[in-house]
């Protein structure tokens, strides 16, 4: 059965797209910790990020870096934090979270 995120990639569930290429997709989190909280996922359905190949993890990080640069312009912040949780959705993803303060407690 397709994950929620695969349905988002397929356009069966709406999302606010931030960026996309042939392998990866970035969209705003539906329940953001802060404004601009973005998720980066592989279009290929993989349970957890560490199930990706070394090459895929590298390519996903490069994609995430470019998304983070765009987030920083759209949502002025001191840095864009990155987190891998995977508690809720069994489809590999990276959280990108604009941070306003070095002392922000996000989790």
Place of tokens 């993803």: 93
Residue 54 C-beta: closest distance to ligand 5GP, Å: 22
Secondary structure in 3-state letters for the chain: CCCHHHHHHHCCCCCCEEEECCCEEEEECCCCCCCCCEEEEECCCCCCHHHCCHHHHHHHHHHHHHHHHHHHHHCCCCEEEEECCCCCCCCCCEEEEEECCCCCCCC
Residue 31 makes contact with ligand 5GP by CB under 6 A? yes
Give the integer Cα–Cα distance in Å for 59 and 57.
6
Residue 24 makes contact with ligand 5GP by CB under 6 A? no
Site for ligand 5GP in 62-91 (CB under 6 A): 85-89
Please, which residue, 31 or 101, has the CB nearer to ligand 5GP? Answer: 31
Please, which residue, 27 or 63, has the CB nearer to ligand 5GP? Answer: 27
Q: Which of 2, 10, 30, 78 binds ligand 5GP (CB under 6 A)?
A: 30
Residue 29 makes contact with ligand 5GP by CB under 6 A? yes
Interface ranges with ligand 5GP (CB under 6 A): 4, 13, 15, 27-31, 39, 85-89
């Amino acid at each position: 059965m397709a994950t929620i995120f695969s349905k988002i990639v397929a356009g069966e569930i709406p999302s606010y797209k931030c960026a996309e290429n042939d392998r990866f997709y970035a969209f705003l989190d539906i329940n953001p910790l802060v404004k601009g909280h973005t998720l980066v996922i592989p279009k290929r359905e993989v349970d957890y990020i560490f199930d990706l190949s070394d090459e895929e993890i590298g390519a996903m990080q490069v994609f995430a870096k470019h998304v983070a640069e765009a987030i920083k312009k759209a949502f002025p912040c001191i840095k864009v934090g990155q987190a891998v949780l995977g508690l809720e959705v069994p489809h590999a993803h990276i959280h990108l979270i604009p941070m306003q303060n070095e002392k922000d407690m996000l989790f």
